[in-house]
Amino acid sequence: MATEPTNAVAPTTPAVPGVSPAVEAETAQAAGAAADPGPLANPAGDPRQAAPVREYTWREAELRNPPLRLLNAVGAGLRRLRLDWPALSPEKVVAAAQARARAQFGADDLGSASYREPLERYLAAAATEADLTTFGRLLVTRMLANALVNRIALQAWTSAHPEIRAEQIESPWIIVGLPRTGTSLLSILLGLDPLSRPLRQWEAAHPIPPPTLETAAEDPRIAQSARELGQLLRLNPALGAMHPFGASVAEECIALFMYDLRTLGIETQAHVPSYGRWLETTDMTPAYAQHKLALQAFQSAQPTGHWVLKSPNHLWCLPTLLAAYPDARVIWTHRDPAPVVTSLASLNNAAQRPLTKRTDPRPTAEEWKGKARRAISAAMAFDTDSPPGWCVHVRYDQLMADPVGAVGSLYERFGLTVRDLHARRMRAWLAQVPQDAHGRHRYTPTDFGWTYPRLTDEFADYTTRYAVPTET
């Protein structure tokens, strides 16, 4: 049975990369990265054939690829000569996105200009705060261009098929807990209901044209995404132990916020605290408009009963979430924040380590601890001001003790019943999918200048209010 360990071993639930693996894979490939296979990089294969468990920390994410290290050295030399390559330029990102979209989709209309401010703020922060290497600069500019290509494609497709906007997104399941609180496990189990549908990683990465009932099972974009994931994990195998990857694995729905560039997902790739502060207080309405339009496009090609969505990004903007989806079935997962923020600090250091010259893990760790604190505070304030029943609270320890029973209880709270087929599918999945298939994530608060008792004190108001048991 798949379980998520406690104490110093991370659970198998993901944090918030939210970024298409195509970005890092394509950038590495374009820069000449070697493609020698890693022992754990087989996201498309049978997980039961996994190699013996290897342990990873954020330190193992250091860039070791010789061609990319050489690229970084060349780029550093060019910048010493005052040659800014690659430039962190909004104009160049937009031009690259439009050129690629014209070639691929015959369109270059970005729709509204809502993407522009987040693009400019993110690139300004990346230039002044992130200490990016040449490879890091290439990756973030390509990541942003990829997001805008998807925005253009979605805009073009829905303009050609205006009936898409009439699609009703009815009573979606939306999980809003912090990373590492059981959100991935819960979303997978909910998605095993034959009447529900999770967002798949390959769909979010390559959304247009929306896969149809006829083509979805053998869509070539599935294999494309699997190849991209394989290259990502060869470049940074530590991520495979920290975040569940797979072309058909359920994806964080912040991947759809990418189309407006208002998302935690792009913060995972670079240390950009000024962008982060802006994101936490900005109007997220344009991002939810892209989010909903993407779901409508997917649903127009494959009729869907209820979507299963999840992201910690929602915690900062719950009023906007419920304005977009007023009949959402919201689930807030809770877990001891001490191991949560320590794991989150490790994950984000691992994601950023191949892209930055910075070696000190503490700035990124403090940034993400602060983000977790502010997310919890915003959600607690909303909970105080909202009528009972706006969400259902689920504790991590209870979910892990009886996953199928926890889903049954959730259904009862929403006036539903788990069907026998759904229950059997959940039990089969729990029996078939091994823990640590791609390695084990190890982390410790001392790496970041913390202790578990201090972290427990910092979040005591939250754990007391929601009766969250401590694990450390």
> Looking at residue 95, which CATH number applies to its domain?
3.40.50.300
Closest CA to 115 of 286, 295, 291: 286
Q: pLDDT at position 51, please? A: 52
- Note whether residue 470 is domain-resident: no
In eight-state DSSP terms, residue 469 is: P
Residues 6+ apart with CB under 8 A from 455: 337, 338, 341, 342, 369, 445, 472
What's the chain's Rg over C-alpha atoms?
A: 21
Is pLDDT larger for residue 120 or for residue 65? 120
- Note whether residue 12 is domain-resident: no
Band of residue 109 on the pLDDT scale cut at 50, 70, 90: very high
Average pLDDT of the residues in 193-199: 95
Q: pLDDT digits over 215-232, tens only?
A: 988 999 999 999 988 888
Q: pLDDT digits over 318-377, tens only?
A: 999 999 999 999 999 999 999 999 999 999 999 999 999 999 999 999 999 999 999 999
Computed over every residue of the chain, the mean pLDDT equals: 88
- Note whether residue 343 is domain-resident: yes
- Residues of the chain above pLDDT 70, percent: 88
- Note whether residue 4 is domain-resident: no
Q: How many domains does the chain have?
A: 1
Per-position DSSP letters for 51-99, written without gaps between them: PSP-EE-GGGGS---HHHHHHHHHHHHHHHTT---S---HHHHHHHHHH
Query: Residue type at 8?
Result: A
- Note whether residue 6 is domain-resident: no
pLDDT exceeds 80 at position 9:
no
In eight-state DSSP terms, residue 48 is: G
Q: pLDDT at position 81, please? A: 86
- Note whether residue 452 is domain-resident: yes
As given in the structure block, the two tokens for residue 9 are 């071993």
Per-position DSSP letters for 138-181, written without gaps between them: HHHHHHHHHHHHHHHHHHHHHHH-GGGGG----S-EEE-PPTTS
Q: pLDDT at position 437, please? A: 64
Q: Would the pTM of this model clear 0.85, i.e. be above it?
A: yes
Domain that holds residue 186: 21-45+53-465
pLDDT exceeds 70 at position 136:
yes
- Note whether residue 15 is domain-resident: no
- Note whether residue 181 is domain-resident: yes
φ/ψ (deg, to 5) at 379: -70, -35
